[in-house]
Structure 1
Amino acid sequence: MPNFLPINTILVPQGAEYKAVCRGLSGVTGSIPTVVAIPVGMKPLLKYLQKSSGNAQFLAPKSRVLIMGVCGSLSDRYKVGDIVLYQDCVYQGKRQECDRTFTTKLHSYISDKVSLVKSLTSDRVIWSAAEKRHLGKTLAADVVDMEGFTALEFFNAAKVSVAMLRVVSDNCQHDIPDLTPAINSDGSLNPFPLAMTMLRQPLAATRLIRGSLTALKVLEQVTNLLFSGNRLE
């Protein structure tokens, strides 16, 4: 990462996304940010951030937090493996903006690899392709995740600069399994309900796994690009 854009902390959902970012940073020489695994979902994330609010690393003056991970597409324009940089997040009619200066500098650094998008944050998994397309049209949103609005609301209130960089893991042409029942109240994944959900919908599960593997590989590569300057494959 160029000296003009220091990043103090990367927040990334726990599990495969966290591991992909860590792989991207492995072998990078020089200073790298602290990578923090966060829970999945709005309520678990808010609880985690409030509990961690005494951490000076999160809330230090002039600190920059980059939130990374995967997201779902709500538009035909964005396909699996596309890298997106958020402008803002909406939730139930409310809107939170990412830091414009931080986002603009990130965009200028990887502009040929990334699209600026508007995001919807949901408190449940949006698994139906029909619902994705409907939400995309009615809310003028491009992608969906389960943490963005909560993170922006928390850090914006604390006057901390936040940017959000994600990779599309599922499109809006096909259904994916409804993983909501497999997400525990603490934001972790419960392996047994997850396995049962995937077994009940084998075609959708195969599509989700394939898309996730593609997105995680790109997430690893873009992390490495940001902090080492290596090119994406």
Structure 2
Amino acid sequence: MSNFLPINTILVPQGAEYKAVCRGLSGVTTSIPTVVAIPVGMKPLLKYLQQGEFLTPKSRVLIMGICGSLSDRYTVGDIVLYQDCVYQGKQQECDRTFIAQLHSLISDKVSLVKSLTSDRVIWSAPEKRRLGETLAADVVDMEGFTALEFFNAVGVSVAMLRVVSDDCQHNIPDLTPAINSDGSLNPLRLAIAMLRQPLAATRLIRGSLTALKVLEQVTNLLFSVQNNK
């Protein structure tokens, strides 16, 4: 079979993450899925998905991007494959068959994790560790639960593959005010948030650059490997 893992669409947060995935696919010579840039955050993403017409039932969607660690087990640059996402006591699961196929392709490079979805940036190291312990979650992002809830309801298979960009031992700047209501980033507010916490900002930039490079590499690896199956 020429395409061991038929993935119709990759969804990835707009901006640097989207560009990293596109760079990773640029060297793949065989068939590649459609890559769609999505807004950041739960409400903007839900609105976007409700308006979207790019999916049909029985589609397979891979959500990619970066995430934050809530556990000492995962640090900057680690590749994680989600089993499920939790939000306010509710849980949504990724497609088990889809996860198993992805895991079989890159099992030596990826860890299976439980994720927390948050409606704001979790920037404080103590809060990251507390959330990780109390919710038994390994990583955090701002889109996962919303995407799973939406796609599971309409019969679309979903898997999530992300790269850790910040650990649970250090603060990052609070970027929540820099996220516009439509899920885009406000450059001025982003700059202000970074300037307020210069050490944390330097660490975040360094971690993000590392994670984005790994995201590019794992995208290329995944689709090079699967098209050779």
- Is 1:42–2:42 an aligned residue pair? yes
Instruction: Please give the alpha-carbon distance, in whole angstroms, between the structure 2 residues aligned to 1:157 and 1:209.
Output: 36
The equivalent residue for 1:203 is 199
| Contact 2:166–2:207, Cα closer than 8 Å, also in 1 | yes
Provide TM-score, normalisation by structure 1. Answer: 0.95
- Note the C-alpha offset of 1:28: 1.0
CA apart distance, 1:61: 3.1
Comparing 26-35 and 67-76, the one that deviates more: 26-35
The one-character-per-residue Cα deviations of 1:113-146 (angstroms, maximum 9, x if unpaired) are 0000000000000000000000000000000000
Map of 1:12 onto structure 2: 12
Residues of 2 paired with 1:202 and 1:227: CA distance? Answer: 37
Deviation at 1:2, TM superposition (A): 6.0
Alignment-derived partner of residue 3 in structure 1: 3
Q: Tell me if structure 1 keeps the 8 A contact 2:105–2:225.
A: no
Residue 143 (structure 1) aligned to one of 139, 147, 150: 139
Give the match's secondary structure for 1:229.
helix
Q: How does 1:60-139 map to 2 (within 5 A)?
A: 60-139=56-135
Partner of 2:25: 25
Q: Which letter does structure 1 place at the counterpart of 2:179?
A: I
Contiguous gaps of at least 5 residues in structure 2: none
Tell me the distance in 1 between the aligned counterparts of 2:70 and 2:6: 31
1:192–1:73 Cα change, 3 Å: same
Corresponding residue to 2:168 among 163, 167, 172: 172
Alignment TM-score, normalising by the size of structure 2: 0.97
Q: What is the rounded CA distance, in whole Å, between the counterparts of 1:30 and 1:197 in structure 2?
A: 42
In structure 1, stretches of 5+ residues that fail to align are none
What is the CA-CA distance between 1:170 and the residue it aligns to? Answer: 0.1
**Given that residues 11 and 36 in structure 2 are in contact (C-alpha distance below 8 angstroms), is that contact kept between their aligned partners in structure 1?**
yes
User: How many residues were matched structurally?
Assistant: 226
Identity over aligned residues, as a percent? 88
What's the secondary structure of 1:84's corresponding residue?
A: strand
* Kept in 1: contact 2:27–2:220 (CA 8 A): no
Q: 1:113 to 1:2 in 2, by over 3 A?
A: farther
Deviating above 4 A after TM superposition, structure 1's stretches of 4 or more consecutive aligned residues are none
| Whole-angstrom CA distance in 1 between matches of 2:38 and 2:185 | 12
Q: Deviations over 1:7-59 (max 9, x none)?
A: 0000000000000000000021111000000000000000000011xx1x41x
* Residue number in structure 2 paired with 1:188: 184
SS at match of 1:44: helix
